[in-house]
Amino acid sequence: MGQSLALGIKRKKTFRLEIIHIHLQFRNSMPQVVAAQKILACPAGSNLRHVLLNQEVPVHNGRSRLINCRGLGSCGTCAVKVEEDVSPPTWRDLARRSLPPHTPTRDLRLACQTSVVGDIRVTKYDGFWGQGTQPVWSAERATEGE
């Protein structure tokens, strides 16, 4: 009797650990992007610019919505601040942000050159290239008109 009770407890613990493991696997494979007061789930490795645009979060300011390189990494207008877990900067990202109006020391990333690895929070700043200091939207702040 005591032996079967101990076996039952052990199985229950093992089952619980399996559930936690599956939950963590699912969570890591579908990171959450928090931007403009929206929570966007996407597969790990997704391109950040695509994730934002697909959910109608404006990654480009003003006229740069029409005049941009469409994700080639050359215009620099998709610059955003990203907190937490993303891919390391690509050479295109580093090269473009080393040129004005961007500066290499600023903590921005080009959304089109960034892959989502884990849960992240995103902020977009003002200016044609997103190079300003005033947030246009952030994790807690919606876009204008919402």
Considering only 69, 94, 117, 139, the residue that binds ligand FES (CB under 6 A) is 69
Window contacting ligand FES (CB under 6 A); options: 3-11, 64-72, 99-107, 119-127? 64-72
Shorter beta-carbon distance to ligand FES: residue 31 or 76: 76
Residue 67 buriedness (CB in 10 A; 0-12 / 13-18 / 19+)? exposed
Contact 139, 37 (CB under 8 A): yes
Residue 103 buriedness (CB in 10 A; 0-12 / 13-18 / 19+)? exposed
In the window 8-37, what residues touch ligand FES (CB under 6 A)?
A: none
Considering only 33, 42, 57, 73, the residue that binds ligand FES (CB under 6 A) is 73
Q: What is the DSSP string of 57-125?
A: ---S-GGGGTSS-SSSSSS-TTEEEEEEEEPPPPHHHHHHHTSTTS-TTS--EEGGG-BEEEEEEEEEE
Q: Does 86 bind ligand FES (CB under 6 A)?
A: no
Q: Does 77 bind ligand FES (CB under 6 A)?
A: yes
- Spell out, one character per residue from 101 to 120, where the chain touches ligand FES: x when CB under 6 A holds, - when not: ---------x-x--------
In the complex, the smallest distance separating the C-beta of residue 29 from ligand FES, rounded to whole angstroms, is 25
Q: Which residues bind ligand FES (CB under 6 A)?
A: 68-69, 71-78, 96, 110, 112
